[in-house]
Amino acid sequence: MNQILKKRVLTPVTKEIVVSAPHIARKAQPGQFVILRVTEEGERIPLTIADFDREAGTITLVYQEVGYTTRLLGKLEPNDCILDLAGPLGLPAELPEKGRVVAVGGGVGVAPLLPKCKELHRRGINLISIIGARSADLIILEEEMRACSDELHICTDDGSRGFKGFVSDKLKELLETSLKPEDIDEVIAIGPIPMMKATCAVTKEFGLKTWVSMNPIMVDGTGMCGACRVTVGGETKFACVDGPMFDGHLVDWDEAWRRANSYREQEQIANERCRCGGDH
């Protein structure tokens, strides 16, 4: 069960695994996620399904080793099994049938962006993609994104590759020059909270409908606990069952950022343990 079939190192801190999960692969839709656990003492974390192959019965997960559990996951090799894997969870993304979409991905957010882009491409949508990272070596899934995009723009914060600056800056530049806002049906922006917030600020200015994918702290992922509460248009939503995709112009970003950092102290304690070898 849940055996890792392939593993690829995308950047020094980002890995991609292909996992045998026939039930999940059979039902997965772009936008959905899984909850997994790596050890008997482990926590449950959500990861977006980056790709799926119904025939082969596999799903692809991409993760950045930012916390304790993603680091444990990073230690698993092909033939190892993921202890618990539940899904597919959340609502599938509502994607347009025709027209033009701009997809904006920051950092590891390109992974959850990819399945939507593939589906948009399959539907014949004109797709303009902007992907970015802190530096050139942290850009992920470039070839996969290029394959389904009509135009691909690369950005780095330090200018080591492509446009120097944030993806939101690049979007703004395009909207002020080559892209006409009235030709764009919607924008999908996925990445860290500050990146999604900044991108929404730009698209609001140009009156562009924008979908974002929230990735808050979760425990069960099925609507039971409410850890993933996010305020959207003044109402409390559960990202796990009402999302994870929401209208980015309605999200309370400051609250989301604050809630994402609820366990910062505990994360430091856990990370210290991981670095020292720990018991895992």
Partner 1 sequence: MALKKNRVEMPVQDPKERKSNFDEVALGYTEEMALEEASRCLNCKKPFCVDGCPVNVNIPGFIKLITEKKYQEAINVVKATNSLPAVCGRVCPQETQCESKCILGRRGEPVAIGRLERFVADWEMKHGEAEIPEIKPNGKKVAIVGAGPAGLTCAGDLARLGYEVTIFESLHEPGGVLIYGIPEFRLPKEIVRKEVDYVKRLGVKIETSFIVGRTMTVDELFENGFDAVFIGSGAGLPIFMNIPGENLNGVYSANEYLTRINLMKAYKFPEFDTPIVSGKKVAVVGAGNVAMDAVRCALRLGAEKAMIVYRRGREEMPARAEEIHHAEEEGVEFHLLTNPVRILGDENGWVKGMECIRMELGEPDASGRRRPVPVPGSEFVMDVDTVIMALGTRPNPILVQTTEGLDAHNWGGLITGDQRGRTTRPRVWAGGDAVTGAATVIQAMGAGKAAAKDIHEYLQSGSTDW
Q: Which residues bind partner 1 (CB under 8 A)?
A: 23-24, 27, 35, 37, 39, 41-44, 68-69, 83-89, 219-220, 222-227, 229, 231, 236, 241, 255, 258-259, 262-263, 266-267, 269-270, 273
**Shortest distance in whole angstroms from residue 199 CB to partner 1:** 23
**CB count, 10 Å around CB of 250?**
16
- Minimum distance from residue 33 beta carbon to partner 1 (Å): 11
Q: Which is nearer to partner 1, 46 or 87 (CB)?
A: 87
Find, among 242, 3, 5, 8, the residue nearest to 140 by Cα. 8
172 or 237: CB nearest partner 1? 237
Nearer to partner 1, 30 or 106 (CB): 30
CB of 237 to partner 1, least distance (A): 10
SS3 of 275, please?
Answer: helix
Burial environment of residue 227 by CB neighbours within 10 A (0 to 12, 13 to 18, 19 or more): middle
Question: 3-state DSSP: the chain helix, strand, coil percent, rounded to 5?
Answer: 30, 30, 35
Burial tier of 266 (Cβ tally within 10 Å: 0-12, 13-18, 19+): exposed
Q: Which is nearer to partner 1, 34 or 155 (CB)?
A: 34
Angular region, 77: left φ>0, alpha ψ -120 to 50, beta rest:
beta
* Least distance from partner 1 to the Cβ atom of residue 153, Å: 35
CB of 23 to partner 1, least distance (A): 5
**Alpha-carbon torsion 264, 267, 268, 269, what sign?**
positive
| Residue nearer to partner 1 on the CB measure, 176 or 262 | 262
Task: Give min distance, CB of 2 to partner 1, in A.
Answer: 9
Q: What angle do CA 33, 122, 6 make, to 5 degrees?
A: 50
Q: Which is nearer to partner 1, 90 or 109 (CB)?
A: 90
